[in-house]
Amino acid sequence: EVQLVESGGGLVQPGGSLRLSCAASGFTFSVRDMNWVRQAPGKGLEWVSTSYSGGGMPYYADSVKGRFTSSRDNAKNTLYLQMNSLKTEDTGVYYCAADRVAWDNPSRDDSRYWGQGTQVTVSS
């Protein structure tokens, strides 16, 4: 059974940092493209970042570029998202998803494999 488990969310002040983790099991993590997707309160899903299985630099949404860094440790089957200079508009539930996710208007139907999400709240 495939499982994706996010952790690391919490409450942080604007300008602060958080590091999210997504622990994967039940499939060969190293050959999977992995994504971070978020959902702000009352809004739809927003693609954040994609890390391809073949390596290379991850891709980021313009809204997080220069502030967020995605990385993966294939030996630990874990995807990370280092979030710096957090803004109130970064508040939401952050999900990791395996395989291809649409960068524009992502949908739960894009992938069979999603985690349960971790809440990030940026507030003073």
pLDDT of residue 56: 86
Which residues have CB under 8 Å from 68's CB, separation 6+? Answer: 36, 48, 49, 60, 81, 82, 83, 84
CB 18 within 8 A of CB 10: yes
pLDDT for residue 84: 98
Q: How far apart are CA 56 and CA 40, in angstroms?
A: 28
For the chain, which residues score pLDDT lower than 70?
A: none
Dig out the tokens for 117 from the structure: 């999400």
Mean of per-residue pLDDT scores for the chain? 96
